[in-house]
Amino acid sequence: MADTFLEEKKAQVESIINALIDTILQLSSGAVVSYTLDTGQGKQIVTRENLSDLNNQLNSYLSMRDVLCARTEGGGVFNMGPLC
């Protein structure tokens, strides 16, 4: 049986991931100059200049989701990055 706490956290993280993806897509389309990002934890207005920061946040939340999935499903996580 999966840990309820971890399942709840995974759902929260997935909600934030969806909000970040929606925001990135809206800003990347070129039709939108600014966008209100509501992650459920707070709201902020972001602009195209924030795309790099949003992508970094998205990558962090994707990694967090991978860890939570591994913990709830009994698997492992392997993160590979640069050596230097």
User: Which one is predicted more confidently, 19 or 2?
Assistant: 19
In this prediction, residue 71 carries a pLDDT of 85
- pLDDT per position as a tens digit, 8-50: 999 999 999 999 999 899 888 887 788 888 877 788 888 888 8
Give me the mean pLDDT over the 55-77 stretch. 86
Please tell me the distance from the alpha carbon of residue 15 to that of residue 84, in angstroms, as a whole number: 33
What are the two backbone dihedrals, phi and then psi, of residue 6, each rounded to the nearest 5 degrees? -65, -40
User: Which one is predicted more confidently, 45 or 61?
Assistant: 61
Q: What is the pTM of this model?
A: 0.77
In this prediction, residue 11 carries a pLDDT of 93
